[in-house]
A and B are shown apart, each in its own frame.
Chain A
Amino acid sequence: MASNLPPKPTLEHSTAASGGLAHEHHERPRGIWRWLLTTNHKEIGTLYLVFSLVMFFIGGIFALVVRAELFQPGLQLVQPEFFNQMTTMHGLIMVFGAVMPSFVGLANWMVPLQVGAPDMALPRLNNFSFWLLPVAFTLLLSTLLMPGGGPDFGWTFYAPLSTTYAPPSTTFFILSLHMAGISSILGAINIIATILNLRAPGMRLMDMPLFVWTWLITAFLLIAVMPILAGVITMMLMDINFGTSFFNAAGGGDPVLFQHLFWFFGHPEVYIMILPAFGIVSAIIPTFARKPLFGYASMVYATASIAILSFLVWAHHMFVVGLPLVAELFFMFTTMLIAIPTGVKVFNWIATLFRGSITFETAMLFALSFVVLFTIGGFSGLMLAIAPADFQYHDTYFVVAHFHYVLVPGAIFAVMAGVYYWLPKWTGHYPDERLGRWHFWMSVIGVNLTFFPMHFSGLAGMPRRIPDYALQFADFNMVSSVGAFMFGVSQLLFVWGVIKCVRGGEKAPAKAWEGAEDLEWSVPSPAPLHTFETPPEFTPITH
Chain B
Amino acid sequence: MSGGSYYVPESSKWPALGSLAVGIMMAGLGTLLVYGRGALVMTLGMVAVLSVMFLWFRDVVRESRQGLYDDQMDRSFRWGMGWFIFSEVMFFAAFFGALFYVRTFAVPWLDGEGAKGVAALLWPDFTASWPLMNPPDAGISGPRESVSPWQLPLANTLFLVSSSITLTIAHEALKEGYRRTARNWLIGTLVLGISFLVVQGFEYYEAYAHLGLTLEAGIYGSTFFLLTGFHGLHVTIGAITLAVMLGRIIKGHFTRDDHFAFEAASWYWHFVDVVWIGLFLFVYVF
| A192 and B135 contact, CB distance less than 8 A | no
Nearest CB in chain B to that of A138: its residue = B23
Q: Does B16 contact A (CB under 8 A)?
A: yes
Q: Does B48 contact A (CB under 8 A)?
A: no
| A533 and B4 contact, CB distance less than 8 A | yes
* Alpha-carbon gap, A228 to B92, bound state (A): 8
Q: Does A74 contact B (CB under 8 A)?
A: no
From residue B31, how far is it (CB to closest CB) to chain A in Å? Answer: 8
Q: Does B54 contact A (CB under 8 A)?
A: no
- Which single member of A123, A139, A232, A252 contacts B136 (CB below 8 Å)? A252
| A1 and B16 contact, CB distance less than 8 A | no
* Alpha-carbon gap, A84 to B110, bound state (A): 32
From residue B270, how far is it (CB to closest CB) to chain A in Å? Answer: 19
- Which single member of A127, A135, A194, A254 contacts B12 (CB below 8 Å)? A127
Q: Does A193 contact B (CB under 8 A)?
A: yes
Q: Does A305 contact B (CB under 8 A)?
A: no
Residues of chain A contacted by B247 (CB below 8 angstroms): none
| A241 and B116 contact, CB distance less than 8 A | no
Nearest CB in chain B to that of A116: its residue = B2
- Which single member of A38, A130, A261 contacts B94 (CB below 8 Å)? A261
Q: How many interface contacts (CB-CB < 8 Å) are there between A and B?
A: 259
* Alpha-carbon gap, A234 to B128, bound state (A): 26
| A257 and B102 contact, CB distance less than 8 A | yes
Residues of chain B contacted by A322 (CB below 8 angstroms): 116
Q: Does B257 contact A (CB under 8 A)?
A: yes
| B97 and A26 contact, CB distance less than 8 A | no
A residues 214-262 with Cβ under 8 Å of B?
223-228, 230-232, 234-235, 237-238, 241-246, 249-254, 256-257, 260-261
From residue A438, how far is it (CB to closest CB) to chain B in Å? Answer: 38
- Which single member of A169, A192, A235 contacts B226 (CB below 8 Å)? A235
| A249 and B122 contact, CB distance less than 8 A | yes
* Alpha-carbon gap, A3 to B253, bound state (A): 12
Give chain B's interface residue range (CB within 8 Å of chain A).
35 or more
Residues of chain A contacted by B255 (CB below 8 angstroms): 2-3
The stretch of B75-83, B145-153, B189-197, B198-206 in contact with A is: B75-83
- Which single member of A4, A29, A223, A253 contacts B86 (CB below 8 Å)? A223
Q: Given A37-B13, A238-B215, A128 and B106 touching (CB < 8 A)?
A: no
| A39 and B22 contact, CB distance less than 8 A | no
Q: Given A243-B216, A324-B114, A26 and B26 touching (CB < 8 A)?
A: no
Q: Given A178-B26, A197-B72, A252 and B14 touching (CB < 8 A)?
A: no
Q: Does A144 contact B (CB under 8 A)?
A: no
B residues 15-41 with Cβ under 8 Å of A?
15-16, 18-20, 22-23, 26-27, 29-30, 33-34
The stretch of A5-13, A374-382, A460-468 in contact with B is: A5-13
Kindly supply a per-residue 1/0 record for chain A positions 165-185, scoring 1 wherever the CB is within 8 Å of any chain B CB and 0 otherwise.
000110110011011001001
Most buried by B among A26, A188, A237, A257: A257
| A125 and B15 contact, CB distance less than 8 A | yes
Q: Does B84 contact A (CB under 8 A)?
A: yes
Task: Count A-side interface residues using an 8 Å CB cutoff.
Answer: 96
From residue B109, how far is it (CB to closest CB) to chain A in Å? Answer: 8
Q: Does B221 contact A (CB under 8 A)?
A: yes
* Alpha-carbon gap, A4 to B65, bound state (A): 8
| B12 and A176 contact, CB distance less than 8 A | no
Residues of chain A contacted by B284 (CB below 8 angstroms): none
* Alpha-carbon gap, A174 to B220, bound state (A): 24
Q: Given A171-B30, A193-B80, A245-B135, A124 and B14 touching (CB < 8 A)?
A: yes
| B94 and A228 contact, CB distance less than 8 A | yes
Nearest CB in chain A to that of B75: its residue = A197
| B135 and A252 contact, CB distance less than 8 A | yes
| B66 and A1 contact, CB distance less than 8 A | no
From residue B64, how far is it (CB to closest CB) to chain A in Å? Answer: 7
B residues 80-102 with Cβ under 8 Å of A?
80, 83-84, 86-95, 97-98, 101-102
Q: Does A121 contact B (CB under 8 A)?
A: yes
Q: Does B112 contact A (CB under 8 A)?
A: no
Q: Does B139 contact A (CB under 8 A)?
A: yes
* Alpha-carbon gap, A25 to B8, bound state (A): 12
Nearest CB in chain B to that of A533: its residue = B4
| B16 and A37 contact, CB distance less than 8 A | yes
| A3 and B94 contact, CB distance less than 8 A | no
Q: Given A179-B26, A535-B1, A254 and B19 touching (CB < 8 A)?
A: no
Residues of chain A contacted by B66 (CB below 8 angstroms): 6
* Alpha-carbon gap, A190 to B79, bound state (A): 9
- Which single member of B79, B93, B102 contacts A121 (CB below 8 Å)? B79
Q: Given A135-B19, A533-B4, A261 and B69 touching (CB < 8 A)?
A: no
Kindly supply a per-residue 1/0 record for chain A positions 346-361, scoring 1 wherever the CB is within 8 Å of any chain B CB and 0 otherwise.
0000000000000000
From residue A367, how far is it (CB to closest CB) to chain B in Å? Answer: 31
Q: Does B271 contact A (CB under 8 A)?
A: no
| A250 and B136 contact, CB distance less than 8 A | yes
| B101 and A172 contact, CB distance less than 8 A | no
Nearest CB in chain B to that of A136: its residue = B23
Q: Does B218 contact A (CB under 8 A)?
A: yes
| B74 and A1 contact, CB distance less than 8 A | yes
Q: Does B67 contact A (CB under 8 A)?
A: yes
Residues of chain A contacted by B280 (CB below 8 angstroms): none
Residues of chain B contacted by A1 (CB below 8 angstroms): 69-71, 74, 257-258
Residues of chain B contacted by A490 (CB below 8 angstroms): none
Residues of chain B contacted by A119 (CB below 8 angstroms): 6, 8
Q: Does A497 contact B (CB under 8 A)?
A: no
Q: Given A39-B11, A257-B101, A198 and B222 touching (CB < 8 A)?
A: no
Q: Does B165 contact A (CB under 8 A)?
A: no
Known pairs A6-B66, A231-B92, A257-B102; list 12 more (Cβ under 8 Å). Answer: A37-B16, A119-B8, A188-B83, A192-B83, A197-B75, A197-B76, A198-B6, A198-B72, A227-B93, A249-B106, A251-B218, A264-B97
Q: Could you pull out 30 A-B pairs where Cβ atoms are within 8 angstroms? A: A1-B258, A6-B67, A37-B11, A38-B11, A39-B10, A128-B19, A130-B15, A131-B18, A134-B19, A139-B23, A171-B33, A175-B29, A176-B26, A189-B80, A189-B83, A189-B84, A192-B83, A224-B90, A227-B89, A235-B98, A242-B216, A244-B226, A245-B219, A249-B110, A249-B136, A249-B137, A250-B137, A253-B106, A253-B222, A533-B6
The 5 closest A-B pairs by CB, nearest first: A231-B94, A250-B137, A252-B219, A135-B23, A128-B15
